[in-house]
A and B are shown apart, each in its own frame.
Chain A
Amino acid sequence: MRIRRIAAIVLRQFYLLRSSPARFIPLFAWVTIDIILWGFITRYLNSVAASGVNFLPTLLGAVLLWDFLVRVMQGVTIAFFEDVWSRNFLNIFASPLLIAEYLGGLVLSSIATSAVGLVVMLVLASAIFGLSLLSYGVLFAPFLLVLFLFGIALGICSAAIVLRLGPAAEWFIWPIPALISPFAGVFYPVSTLPRWMQYVSRALPPSYVFEGLRGVVHGGAVSITALWLSAALAAGYIGVACWLFTSVYRRAVRTGLIARYSAESVS
């Protein structure tokens, strides 16, 4: 592993972000809209609910954490899509770059871009709507860590799907968070779901985070074991995603797809 080669991927992303408002503005625009929209929905729900009920930490906090996961995932996929959009595979993969270095560069790019979104969300949620991180205590850090790890796994997995199916498969990737969110129990306890959906929820690390978040806010017990389990699960998913990407890449080299990627298929 060479740090310089990982830095090359990150630097490329920095150059593109610096020179393109179309890339830079979305880092904070969509999360800003989400926080403002859900902030006012939360404020309205507080006004019509029975006195003493505060939806702010459970509803707006959940939106903030879910958007963070989505930003992490998109940070990886968009950095990968830059090579798809600029038809750069031949130049990139004919260089000494290792797949581990390439994925490392995508992950580091995602850390930088998702951090921007997170800071903007935290500032807006606390400044406009009074959401306090203190309401989650020290557990806020492991919540973020689990969601970050799972976002990375989703991002690498999405890149593998697009590498396998071609540039048009990009449109399979954008709805992935929306498909997962009903199972992850972002806005409601997992027990609300039918039994079969609960089984799926248990396989999804974010579900443990959102259950934990509601537990903290409502003063109930939070299972530290469950949080550890979810972190291990998310780390395991990263391993599976890396294996998937590497397998797809090797197949693309075997079939010649890397060299003729715009054809989408070599058969």
Chain B
Amino acid sequence: MRPVLSVSSLRKQYGDFAAVNGVSFEVHRSEIVGLLGPNGAGKTTTINMILGVLEPTSGAIAIDGIDISAHRSRALARANFAAVYAPLPGNLTVYQNLRVFGLLYCVKDLASRIESLLEQFDLARFRDTKCGVLSSGEQTRVCLAKAMLNRPRALLLDEPTASLDPATARDIRAGIRDLVACHECGILWTSHNMYEVEEICDRVLFLSHGQILLEGNPKTLPREHNKNTLEDLFVAVAREPLTLERA
């Protein structure tokens, strides 16, 4: 079965600096892959290239088998994203934002899709509220609802629960788990919350200085590298990447 997201030999060079340097990975249906790494490791650069808002220096990206450089619009119609740094316009209401983005993604039966997402993300009471006056957690839920509008094959979530309280974050994680199971979508998930990553991700990729340093099951990977927890492993990747490379 073809992967929902395929990234091969991806590279982004700024002058002499390689922000992303030969990254390759795949995300399969019903799989949640964690993209981890310290600040500046190249996670957001990789996500921006997958979303078509940053042109790679070299390499290839395919969403659900469609090459994004050749068929950008068709490929992006099968993807969606939510990121803390990309809130929806605060001057539109929740419903208006979902309607505008539903049209942009050409969602069929849009009215009923919006209603079901308002229910799913507990946003019905904010339907006619401008997004700009919602709390950061509520805005995150609107962004997630927008990200689900087109039932994406590949979903990119950049720190999706960063501004949510623990109870809401748990509900959201459960909802995303259900979505993955029901709709056979694959998720690329970045987070600095290692507890969350261990709970939700089937596989993790550790990125350091633009390269994938480690890959594996988040539950077993720490022991394989003589670390007690995923957080210990993360700290080691951030501080001593060369030691891990040698191991």
Contacts and interface: CB of A to CB of B under 8 A. Distances in A.
Tell me, yes or no, whether A binds B: yes
Interface in B66-109: 72-74, 76-77, 81, 83, 85-93, 96, 99-101, 103-106
Interface residues of A, number: 32
A96 B103 contact: no
Nearest to B19: A256
Nearest to B82: A91
A83 to B, nearest CB: 8
A107 to B, nearest CB: 17
A121 to B, nearest CB: 28
Given A86-B90, A91-B88, A258-B53, A96 B105 contact: yes
A4 B99 CA distance: 11
Nearest to A252: B53
A96 B48 contact: no
B225 to A, nearest CB: 32
A96 B54 contact: no
B103 A11 contact: yes
Interface stretch (A12-20, A29-37, A218-226): A12-20
A152 to B, nearest CB: 22
A259 B103 contact: no
Nearest to B73: A96
A94 interface: yes
Contacts of A51: none
A195 interface: no
Contacts of B89: 12, 82, 86, 88, 91
Interface residues of B, number: 34
Interface of B: 14, 44-45, 48, 51-55, 72-74, 76-77, 81, 83, 85-93, 96, 99-101, 103-106, 146
23 contacts: A4-B106, A8-B103, A11-B99, A11-B100, A15-B96, A19-B91, A87-B87, A90-B51, A90-B53, A90-B86, A91-B86, A91-B101, A94-B51, A94-B76, A95-B101, A96-B73, A96-B105, A96-B106, A98-B73, A253-B55, A258-B54, A259-B44, A259-B48
A138 B48 CA distance: 53
**Which of B54, B72, B81, B104 has most chain A Cβ within 10 Å?**
B104
A95 B76 contact: yes
A93 to B, nearest CB: 5
A20 B91 contact: yes
A51 to B, nearest CB: 55
A95 B105 contact: yes
Contact of A256 (B48, B99, B103): B48
A259 B53 contact: yes
A55 to B, nearest CB: 43
Nearest to A251: B55
Contacts of A92: 104
Contacts of B77: 96
Nearest to A95: B104
A97 interface: yes
A221 B53 CA distance: 53
Contacts of A86: 89-91
Contacts of A15: 92-93, 96, 100
